[in-house]
Structure 1
Amino acid sequence: MKCTRTLPFFLLSFFTLLTVRSQELLSKEEAVDLTLSNNLGIEIAENNTEIAENNASVLNSGYLPTLTGNAGFNIDRTSTEGQLANGEERQADGVETKRYNASVNANYVLFDGLGRLYNYKSLKEQQNLTELQARETIETTMLQLFTVYYEVARLSENVDNLEQALEISKDRLDRARYQFEYGQSTGLDVLNAEVDVNTDSINLINVRQILKNTKRDLNLIMNRNLEAEFQVDTLVTFVPGLLMEDMLNDASENNVNLLQAESGEQINEFGIKATRGGFLPTVGLFGSYGWNRSENNSPLAFLLQNTSSGLSGGVNLTWNLFDGGRTITQFKNAKIAFKNQELTKKQVELNVERDIRNAWETYKNALYIYEAQKKNVATTRNNFNRTDERFKFGRATSLEFRQAQINYLNAILTKNQAKYTAKIAELAVLQVSGQILNTEF
C-alpha cells in the first residue's frame, strides 16, 4: 500500500521538476533589456522625444529664408467698339485676351527683435524637457518592473516553502495513519492531520494562482507573450554604503522632477525675452523674379502680344508701434508665468527633500525588520526541529507540532516579505535621488 501511494506522487514530482527546469531563467538584466526595447510607454516617450528634436531643428527655427513660386493664367472674352483717328468706327465681337504670369519670390528676416533667437532657444530647451520626461517614464517603468519582478521572486519562494510545508503535513498524515493502524493514536489525530494537509494544499493552490497572475503582469510590462513561462532570480543584493547625505546631494543634481522644474524655468525666461522682441522693429530682405505675357486678338488693340520679365528686390522695415496692447499684455503674463515657475521649482525642491527623507527612513526600517525576521526564522526553525524530535517519540502532541510548523512557516514567509520590501524601498531611494538608472540590479 505504501508503494502504491508513493509512486504516483513520485512521478508527479518528477514531471513537475522537469517542467520547472524547462522554464527559462529570466535574469534581471534580461528583464531590463526587454522592457527598454518593448515597453509601450517607453516607446511613446521616445517618439515624443523625436518630435521635440524635430521641432528644435534649424528647419523649424525661422532662420532660413522662404522661397515661394506663383503662376497663373486667365482668359477674358469681350466685345468692343472703337473709333480710329480718321473717324472710322470698328467693332469686334468675342475678343479673347489671354494673360500668363509666373514669379519666384524670396524673403529673409534679418532682424526681428531677437524673438526668433529666443524662440529657437526655447525649442531647444523644450527638447531637453521632453528628454527628461522620457527619462522619468523610464525610471518609473524600471521601478514598476522590479516591484513586479521581486513580487514574482517572493511568490516563487513562497511556493517552494508551501510545498515543503505540504510535504511535512503529508508525512505527518502518513505517520498518524500508521500509528492509528497499530493502535498507537486515535482517529482524531488522523482527522487533524487530514485537515492540515487540505489547508496547506489550498494555501499552495492560492499562491500558485497569484504567482501566475503576477507573471502575466511582468510579461505585460516587458510587452511580450502574456503566457510565456519563466523563472526569476531570487538572489537579492543591497547597494552598500548608502548615505542619506549623498542621496540629498545626488538629488539636487539628478532628480528628474527637479531637473524638469529647472528646464521649465529656463523656458519661461526665454518666453519673456521673446515677448520683449515684439517691441522692436523687424528688418527683412525680399527679392523676386517675374514673367508676364499677354495675348490679344482684337483688331482695335495697339499690341496683340506683350511679354515682360525682370528682377526686383529691396529691404523692408516693419515696426508695430502699437497693437492695441496685446504685446504689453503678453509680456506681463510671461513675467508672471516665470514667477510661478520659480515657485514651482521651490515646491519641487521641498517635495524632493521630503521624499528622500521619507524613503530613507522606510529603507532603514525595512532593513532592520529584515535582519530581525532572519533571527526569527532561526529561532522558529530550532523550535520546530526540537518539536519534531519530541513528536516522533510521542512527547509532543499533534497540535504542538502543527503550531511549531505554522510558526516556522510564517517566519519564513514574513522574512521573504521583509527581504523584498527592503529591496523595493532601496530602489525608491535610488529613484528619488536620480540614481536608479545608474545602479546594477
Structure 2
Amino acid sequence: MKTKHVVTLFLTLFGITMYAQQMLSTETAVELALENNYGIQIANTTVEVAENNKDILNSGYLPTITGNAGGSIDKQNTEGELADGDTRIANGVETRRYNASVTLNYTLFDGLGRQYNYRRLKEQYQLSELEARETIETTMIQLFTIYYSVAQLSENTGALEETITISKDRLTRAGYQFDYGQNTKLEVLNAEVDINNDSINLINAKQQLKNTKRDLNVVLGNQLSQDFEVDTTIDFLLQLNKENLLEKTKANNVTLLQANKNIEISQLDIKTSKAQFLPTVGLFGSYGWNESTNNSPLAFVLQNTTTGASAGLNLSWNLFDGGTAITNTKNAKLNLEIQELQKEQLIADIERNFNNAWDNYQNRLTIYHVQNDNIKTAQNNFERTQEKFKLGQVTSIEFRQAQLNLLNAELSRNQAKYEAKLAELTVLQLSGELLNVEL
C-alpha cells in the first residue's frame, strides 16, 4: 500500500512538473531570449571585440621589442698575392657568421594622435554597448509581438472551440426536432454547414498557433523541445506619465544616445587629423651580438666577435604630404556637421514618434475597454437569443447571427487587448525604459 501511495504521489508531482514546464511565462521567455537569442549573442560578442580594442595593449602607448637572429655559412675558393710576390691559393674556405640582437622602439610624442585614437576606441566601445542595447530592445519587441500573437491565437482557439460546442448542440437539437417533425431537414443541413465552417476556422487557427509557436521558439534560440502554453494575463502600466516619459525619451532613447556618441567620435576624428601636422619623436635602443669565423690562410683574423648596445632619439616631421592631412581634417569637420544635423533631425523624429506612439497607446487602451464592454453586451444578447431559440421564438438564422456576434466580439477583444499591450511596449522602447520596467 505504501508503494502504491508513493507511485501515486510521484505521478502527481510529475504531472505538476510537466504542466509547469509547459507554461512559458513572459519572465522565462525574456530570460531565454537574453541568453540564447542568436542576434543578442552576436551583439554581445561584438561588444567583447570593442572591449578588446580599447585595451591598453591596442593603444600604441606601449613600446615594441623586436628580436632578430641569423646565421650563414659560405664556402669559397680564394687566390691571393702577397707583398713579396708569392701567390697563395685556398680552396673550400669556410666562413661562418652569426648574429643576434634585441631592438626597442618607443614613441614619445606623435602630435597627440595616439591619445585621441585611444579615447576614440573607448568611445567606440560605449557605442558598441548602445548598439547591443538597441539589438536587445528590438529583440524584446519582436519577442513580445510573437508571444502575444501566441496568446491571442490561444484565446481565439478557445473561443472557436466553444463556438463549435454550441454549434454541435444546435445540430443535435435540430436533429431531434426533425425526428419529431418540429422542423424541416433544411434546419439540420444549415446546422451541419455551420459546424463545418466552424471546424475549418478552428483547424486554421490551430495551425496558425503551431506556426507562431515555432516562430517564438526561434527567437528563444530553439530552447523549447516540447509544446508549451503562454500566459494570457495582461497587466497595463496605467501609472505611466506622458510628460515624464517624454523627458526620458530625450535623455535615454538609445538611437539618440548613439547619435551623441557618434558626435563625440567625430570630434576626436578632427583632433586626430590635426595631429598629423605635428612632429613625431621616438626613442630607440638595441643590443646586438655578432660573430664570424674564417679558416682561410689569407685572413688576418680567423674569428671576430662583437657585442654592444646603442640608443638614441629620432624625430620625423611630415612638412607636406601633398595635401592629404588638410583634406582629412576638412572632411572630418564636415562629417561632424553631418552628425549634428542628423541629431537635430533625429530629435524631431523621435518626439513625433513618441507622441504618435502615446496617442496610439491611449486609443488602443480605450478600444480594449470598449471591446470588454461589448463582450458583455454580446454575451447577454446571445444568452437571451439562446433561450428564445430553445423555446422556438427565434429562427436558426437569428441564433447563428447572435452566436457569430459573440464570437466576433471575443476575437476583437482579444486583438484589442494585445494590440494595446504592444502599443505600451512601443512607448517604453522609445523612452528608453523598456529594459527598466517589470513587464
Q: Choose which of 272, 278, 281 in structure 2 pairs with 1:280.
A: 278
Paired residues of 2:32 and 2:223 also in contact (CA < 8 A)? no
**What corresponds to 1:198 in structure 2?**
196
For residue 102 of structure 1, report the CA deviation from its aligned partner.
0.7
Moved more, 240-249 or 32-41: 240-249
**What corresponds to 1:6 in structure 2?**
none
For residue 22 of structure 1, report the CA deviation from its aligned partner.
8.2
**What corresponds to 2:3 in structure 1?**
none
For residue 227 of structure 1, report the CA deviation from its aligned partner.
5.9
For residue 200 of structure 1, report the CA deviation from its aligned partner.
1.0
Paired residues of 1:23 and 1:229 also in contact (CA < 8 A)? no
Tell me the distance in 1 between the aligned counterparts of 2:241 and 2:188.
56
Unpaired runs of at least 5, structure 1: 1-16
For residue 392 of structure 1, report the CA deviation from its aligned partner.
1.1
Task: Report SS of the residue matched to 2:322.
Answer: coil
Paired residues of 1:79 and 1:92 also in contact (CA < 8 A)? yes
Tell me the distance in 1 between the aligned counterparts of 2:225 and 2:175.
41
**What corresponds to 1:395 in structure 2?**
393
Alignment of 1:167-186 (within 5 A): 167-186=165-184
Q: List per-residue Cα deviations over 1:251-308 (Å, max 9, x = no partner).
A: 1121111111111111111111111111111111111000000111111111010000
Task: Report SS of the residue matched to 1:72.
Answer: strand
Tell me the distance in 2 between the aligned counterparts of 1:82 and 1:196.
119
What letter matches 2:289 in structure 1?
W
What letter matches 1:90 in structure 2?
R
Tell me the distance in 2 between the aligned counterparts of 1:148 and 1:131.
26
Paired residues of 2:76 and 2:91 also in contact (CA < 8 A)? yes
RMSD over equivalenced CA pairs, Å: 1.6
What letter matches 1:246 in structure 2?
N
Q: Choose which of 243, 246, 250 in structure 1 pairs with 2:244.
A: 246
Tell me the distance in 2 between the aligned counterparts of 1:117 and 1:351.
35
Q: List per-residue Cα deviations over 1:355-402 (Å, max 9, x = no partner).
A: 111111111111111111111111111111111111111111111111
What letter matches 2:187 in structure 1?
D
What letter matches 2:90 in structure 1?
A
For residue 226 of structure 1, report the CA deviation from its aligned partner.
6.7
Aligned residues: 424
Task: Report SS of the residue matched to 2:435.
Answer: helix
What letter matches 1:99 in structure 2?
R
**What corresponds to 2:160 in structure 1?**
162
For residue 93 of structure 1, report the CA deviation from its aligned partner.
2.4
Percent identity of equivalent pairs: 60
Alignment of 1:41-52 (within 5 A): 41-52=39-50
Paired residues of 2:102 and 2:286 also in contact (CA < 8 A)? yes
Unpaired runs of at least 5, structure 2: 1-14
Q: List per-residue Cα deviations over 1:209-233 (Å, max 9, x = no partner).
A: 1000000000111012576300000
**What corresponds to 2:384 in structure 1?**
386
For residue 21 of structure 1, report the CA deviation from its aligned partner.
5.4
Tell me the distance in 2 between the aligned counterparts of 1:316 and 1:173.
100
Task: Say yes or no: does 1:343 pair with 2:315.
Answer: no
Paired residues of 1:216 and 1:227 also in contact (CA < 8 A)? no
**What corresponds to 1:64 in structure 2?**
62
Tell me the distance in 1 between the aligned counterparts of 2:114 and 2:429.
38
Paired residues of 1:113 and 1:280 also in contact (CA < 8 A)? yes
Q: Choose which of 93, 100, 103 in structure 2 pairs with 1:105.
A: 103
Paired residues of 1:216 and 1:226 also in contact (CA < 8 A)? no
What letter matches 2:217 in structure 1?
N
What letter matches 1:423 in structure 2?
K
Paired residues of 2:103 and 2:286 also in contact (CA < 8 A)? yes
Task: Say yes or no: does 1:151 pair with 2:140.
Answer: no
**What corresponds to 1:373 in structure 2?**
371
What letter matches 1:267 in structure 2?
I
Tell me the distance in 1 between the aligned counterparts of 2:59 and 2:223.
44
For residue 87 of structure 1, report the CA deviation from its aligned partner.
3.3
**What corresponds to 1:90 in structure 2?**
88
Q: Structure 1 23/162 Cα, relative in aligned 2: closer, same or farther at 3 Å?
A: farther
What letter matches 2:31 in structure 1?
D
Task: Report SS of the residue matched to 1:396.
Answer: coil
Paired residues of 2:22 and 2:226 also in contact (CA < 8 A)? no
**What corresponds to 1:224 in structure 2?**
222
Tell me the distance in 1 between the aligned counterparts of 2:344 and 2:189.
67
Q: List per-residue Cα deviations over 1:384-438 (Å, max 9, x = no partner).
A: 1111111111111111111111111101110110000000111111111111111
**What corresponds to 1:12 in structure 2?**
none
Q: Structure 1 405/371 Cα, relative in aligned 2: closer, same or farther at 3 Å?
A: same
**What corresponds to 1:3 in structure 2?**
none
Q: Choose which of 400, 417, 425 in structure 2 pairs with 1:427.
A: 425
Task: Say yes or no: does 1:233 pair with 2:231.
Answer: yes
Paired residues of 1:219 and 1:228 also in contact (CA < 8 A)? no
**What corresponds to 1:269 in structure 2?**
267
Q: List per-residue Cα deviations over 1:167-194 (Å, max 9, x = no partner).
A: 1111111111111111222211111111
Paired residues of 2:24 and 2:228 also in contact (CA < 8 A)? yes
Alignment of 1:291-306 (within 5 A): 291-306=289-304
For residue 50 of structure 1, report the CA deviation from its aligned partner.
0.5
Tell me the distance in 2 between the aligned counterparts of 1:225 and 1:216.
11
Tell me the distance in 1 between the aligned counterparts of 2:223 and 2:26.
18
Task: Report SS of the residue matched to 1:166.
Answer: helix
